[in-house]
Structure 1
Amino acid sequence: MSVRRINRKWGQVFVPKCGWVKFRVTREWSDIETASSASVTLDRSGRWFVSFTRLAPQIERKSTGSVVGIDMGIAITVATSEDKSLKPQKLLTKGQRQRKRRLQRRLARQVKGYNRYRVTKLAIAKLAAKEVDRRKDWIELTTTDLVRDYDLISLEALKIKNMTKSAKGTKDKPGKNVKAKPGLNRSILEQGWGLFCQQLTDKATNAVTPVEIIAINPAYTSLRCSECGYTDKKNRDSQALFHCLSCGSIRITQT
């Protein structure tokens, strides 16, 4: 693999059958020139990327002795046992959200296969790419902070593939709430739980002082009191308020 630097912001990589291709430098140049390989990809929004393969850097951290439990949700992406609510800010501005809705309505009226259909679809893909990039950036920052602050992190062992299955069922055994299930599936996938857990696990394992990750059964965890362990569906009055009927412990989650 051959790379060369043009200036502080730009570099070039030699791609077979294409020659020297210019790219923007977004990493330390020492990491780029020592990479073992590179791949060039095109995403659905029409953006080209060149990715250089190298070992993941270790996160610098010191042992803190702190322990935290993490609950994944939809209204609140990440809720910690210390009553902290972590969720990304609006991934699209108000104007971008309105434009996306207009484009989606326009796409529904257009005929598939025509140029106008492709132009509208590309415009929607570009807005979706902004949303994905901002979510990934939030996950990177949040998982890094968690790894630096805690020595032990407990996660829910969520089976996301099973949670987002279709509710249609079969002809003999039709499903329930079939119309509502696609919306719930989209809300689950939009949170990026899988990527969050994967990034957190990778960073915890690769830290200078490793962080222990414990996966627990998620069943009834939102109904179980963290103080006395009493579990009852009446403990949770609402999404934000938890009131244990056994020991009287009250926990309010800021949404």
Structure 2
Amino acid sequence: MTKTHFQTGPVTIPIHGSDETVAVRRIYCVGRNYVAHIREMAEGDEKDPPFFFQKPTDSIVTGGEMPYPAATADLQFEVELAVIIGTEGADISPGAAFDHVFGYAVALDMTRRDLQFLARDMRRPWEMGKSFDHSAPIGAVLPRAEAGDLTEGTIRISVNGEVKQDSDISLMIWGVADTIAHLSAQYRLMPGDVILTGTPAGVGPVVPGDVLDASCAGLPGLTLTVTPALTAKEKAHAAD
């Protein structure tokens, strides 16, 4: 019998009001999808269209804590609407896009901003700044059958009780339908794919001990505490 080493179970997200979960397949992220965020970051022409990058599936965090990551002195939050795909499809039209949605959640695109900017300045990929352990905290999924087709709604995050980002998803350059259409022209979307749809203005740094409270369009909220960085012993135990 062949023995497989290091195999782990599927990464899942709880479904609100249910004992069931969603098994995550991939995490796609939309970059520069709010004009105000493009302006605050001063890192691109606001006339350019949004673009896509990915995070590893096991960067999902559904619990209430996130350890401060290694190799950074500038960990920043970005609150986002997450769309969970329920029906596969490619070259999906905007008019048919919501038919492929299983549900939604509020999520955070945690970013090692110093590493992201270093990569940007050297014209290298963003992986080290965006695609690290615990970089995709996400709340419980609310099925589309309950939430409807989301085209507007407040998106907000506070840190230690102080509101930092406060906008509306109607201000996305590509809304949910257009995001699905553009992404599905490049990838066949499958059940369990998670799409983080971009962040509005107001991003900023956090340190261990900070408590983040995120909300979006009436979806189940997400509360996250940043904890001290893991020790070498804790990292080894987590890998077991």
TM-score by length of 1: 0.23
Task: Name the one with the larger strand percent.
Answer: 2
Which structure has more RCO (C-alpha within 8 Å, separation ≥ 6)? 2
Larger radius of gyration: 1
Q: Which has the higher helix share?
A: 1
State TM-score, norm by structure 2.
Answer: 0.24
